[in-house]
Structure 1
Amino acid sequence: MGSPLDHCRIINLPVVTDVHGKLTFIEENRHIPFDIKRVYYLYDVPGGAVRGAHAHKALQQLYICLSGSCDIKLTDGFKDKTFHLNRSYMGLLLSPMVWRSVDNFSSNSVLLVLASQLYDEDDYYRDYNDYLRGRGILDGPAETG
């Protein structure tokens, strides 16, 4: 059984360029491996703030920094990866069961998130030790609810 981090990767999205500028598009189940059920974006994040700090049990996501830049820090409880997003045509595909936090937002950054499911609080691990228990790294069951 591999790490869920092995499935997290940068996806270069299509870029159409002409004299009028550039256009990037995303098609579900073509450029990303899921149906898009929810779209949201983070912006006006104060300097030094950290967003995320959770994991999802089943949700898949694609993070795209449309403007500015930010860092996405991932861990599976054993190894860590950091991705710096700063191009609007690059998306970070996140698999389930990966703990993530987002920080180092530049001024005027906008982080777009495409999600494979509607919001469901039961899909979250918000406590890191519960996440580790859910991954079978710590003994004992993860708390629910």
Structure 2
Amino acid sequence: MNLIKWINFQSHEDYRGQLVSLEIGRERTVPFDVKRVYYIHKTGPDVSRGFHAHKNLKQIVTCVAGNCRMVLDNGKSRQSVKINDPTKGLLIESMVWREMHDFSNDCILIILASDHYDESDYIRDYHQFVEQVCQ
């Protein structure tokens, strides 16, 4: 099973630069209603983040500057991918463990979430995650 699912954003480029648009509810764009948007920046290259899964939440992660490495794990397989293209978003389904590593100094990640922040939706212990996902 491939955990790496890219969504291509609409991109328009001319002499003025590039414009990337994300539209809700259209084919090949954001496949869920966005309830929360947040970004991660100023993360050093020796810092790792994530280390959790969500029971219900879905996310799209895109890197608008710089790059980092994302690790996705469904309890059976583990895949790693570099995020470095602002015209593509990585779709992360619910019940997928995620880790972020190897941030470039200029990395800015934007995350679109299918719901508001809810601490009870998080699974922060990997062994507990594997037990739940493999039931």
Confirm or deny that 1:54 pairs with 2:52: yes
1:37 is aligned to: 35
| Candidates 46, 65, 68, aligned match of 1:67 | 65
Between the aligned partners of 1:76 and 1:48, the Cα distance in structure 2 is 25
Counterpart of 1:12, as a letter, is N
Q: Which 4+ stretches in 1 moved above 6 angstroms?
A: none
Deviation at 1:19? 1.7
Which structure 1 segments of 5+ residues have no match?
Answer: 138-145
Deviation at 1:136? 2.9
Confirm or deny that 1:20 pairs with 2:26: no
Deviation at 1:60? 0.5
Q: For 1:92-107, what aligned pairs fall within 5 Å after superposition?
A: 92-107=90-105
Confirm or deny that 1:81 pairs with 2:79: yes
Q: Which has the higher strand share?
A: 2
For residues 11-57 of structure 1, what are the alpha-carbon distances to aligned partners after superposition, in whole Å with 9 as ceiling and x for unaligned? 11111112211100101122111001000010000221111000000
Query: SS in structure 2 opposite 1:78?
Result: coil
| Candidates 114, 117, 121, aligned match of 2:115 | 117
For residues 61-85 of structure 1, what are the alpha-carbon distances to aligned partners after superposition, in whole Å with 9 as ceiling and x for unaligned? 0000000001110111111111111
Between the aligned partners of 1:128 and 1:134, the Cα distance in structure 2 is 10
Among all aligned residue pairs of Structure 1 and Structure 2, give the percentage whose two residues are the same amino acid: 38
Query: SS in structure 1 opposite 2:12?
Result: strand
Return the TM-score normalized by structure 2.
0.93
Q: Rg: which structure is higher?
A: 1
Between the aligned partners of 1:28 and 1:94, the Cα distance in structure 2 is 16
42-51 or 59-68, which moves further after superposition? 42-51
Which structure 2 segments of 5+ residues have no match?
Answer: none
| Candidates 119, 130, 133, aligned match of 1:132 | 130
Counterpart of 1:83, as a letter, is V
Return the TM-score normalized by structure 1.
0.87
